[in-house]
């Protein structure tokens, strides 16, 4: 009998170790396994790039502010740039996102964003898809990720609304490069970018994962060459799962931690 119980216990341990992490169920109550962005949200949360907004929620359809996007991107690709204590006397001093704004300034994330808005305006308002592409462009630049010229030309010719951005517009080049590398693919089957639309938290998770794949491919020497085609499928659109009255990530961070020092120490909500 004791041998049988020992065998059963051993089998239980083996089975538990072999079950994939996702089998335990969704990390967030409002992102079920049937949600279009589930695998990306799970990956981004597991890596510590994104966090919940409190009460076990992720708020996938919530809009992403500049500060929240900076936070996600810096957590994912530049964690070593997060200062232990943000500099005093800066525009972001005393804000929940101060460490990430300080890192974003160092990385020159705002270089191709709105010329007529202050850094604080950009940080505290929803970020557009075009502005998201501009930040991605800076990340690619820091990692020295290039796109083949033929892919850039093909991408430029395939975006129906690219001429909404003049040649001198700093966001045009980033949009084209993101298409060329398969990080962005448009909002519909025609490849329309819809750059002035706000980005959502679910879309942010998808984009982070795609960007991570491209950077990893570059570092491994497996970045697609001129003859390879990017995934033509359009960027996923938000589903009909809504989360009314769910706080933004900024609100949840302020509520749970309140100080930039604690945030910079690597705390993650809902963990």
241 phi and psi, to 5 degrees? -85, 110
Contact 73, 123 (CB under 8 A): no
**For the chain, which residues make up each domain, given as ranges?**
2-264
- Say how far apart CA 83 and CA 78 lie, in whole Å: 11
* pLDDT tens, residue by residue, 195-236: 999 999 999 999 999 999 999 999 998 886 544 554 555 665
Among 24-33, 149-158, 235-244, 257-266, which is the least confidently predicted range?
Answer: 257-266
Gyration radius of the chain's alpha carbons? 20
Q: How far, CA to CA in Å, does 212 sit from each of 78, 196, 217, 224, 249?
A: 12, 24, 8, 14, 22
3-state secondary structure at position 227:
coil
CA 196-218-206 angle, 5° bins? 35
CA 208-203-197 angle, 5° bins? 125
Tell whether the model's pLDDT for residue 242 goes beyond 80: no
What is the pTM (predicted TM-score) of this model? 0.76
Q: Which residue has the higher pLDDT, 91 or 227?
A: 91
Tell whether the model's pLDDT for residue 133 goes beyond 70: yes
- State which of 88-92, 118-122, 230-234 shows the largest mean pLDDT: 88-92
Closest Cα to residue 64, out of 266, 207, 178? 207
């Amino acid at each position: 009998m004791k041998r049988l119980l020992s065998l059963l216990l051993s089998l239980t341990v083996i089975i538990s170790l072999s079950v994939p992490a996702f089998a335990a169920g969704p990390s967030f109550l409002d992102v079920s396994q049937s949600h279009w962005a589930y695998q990306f949200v799970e990956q981004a949360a597991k890596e510590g790039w994104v966090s919940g907004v409190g009460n076990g929620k992720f708020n996938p359809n919530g809009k992403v502010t500049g500060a929240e996007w900076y936070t996600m991107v810096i957590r994912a690709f530049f964690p070593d740039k997060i200062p232990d204590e943000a500099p005093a006397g800066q525009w972001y001093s005393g804000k929940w996102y101060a460490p990430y704004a300080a890192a974003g300034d160092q990385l020159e994330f705002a270089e191709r964003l709105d010329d007529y808005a202050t850094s604080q305006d950009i940080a505290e308002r929803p970020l557009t898809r075009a502005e998201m592409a501009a930040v991605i462009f800076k990340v690619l630049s820091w990692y020295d990720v290039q796109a083949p010229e033929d892919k850039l030309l093909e991408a430029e010719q395939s975006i129906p609304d690219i001429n909404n951005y003049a040649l001198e517009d700093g966001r045009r080049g980033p949009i084209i490069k993101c298409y060329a590398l398969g990080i962005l693919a448009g909002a519909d089957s025609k490849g329309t970018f819809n750059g002035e639309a706000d980005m959502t938290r679910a879309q942010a998770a998808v984009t982070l994962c795609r960007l991570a794949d491209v950077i990893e491919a570059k570092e491994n020497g497996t970045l697609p060459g001129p003859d390879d085609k990017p995934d033509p499928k359009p960027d996923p659109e938000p589903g009909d799962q809504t989360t009314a009255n769910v706080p933004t990530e900024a609100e949840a961070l302020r509520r749970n931690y309140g100080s930039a020092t604690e945030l910079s120490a690597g705390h993650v909500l809902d963990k």
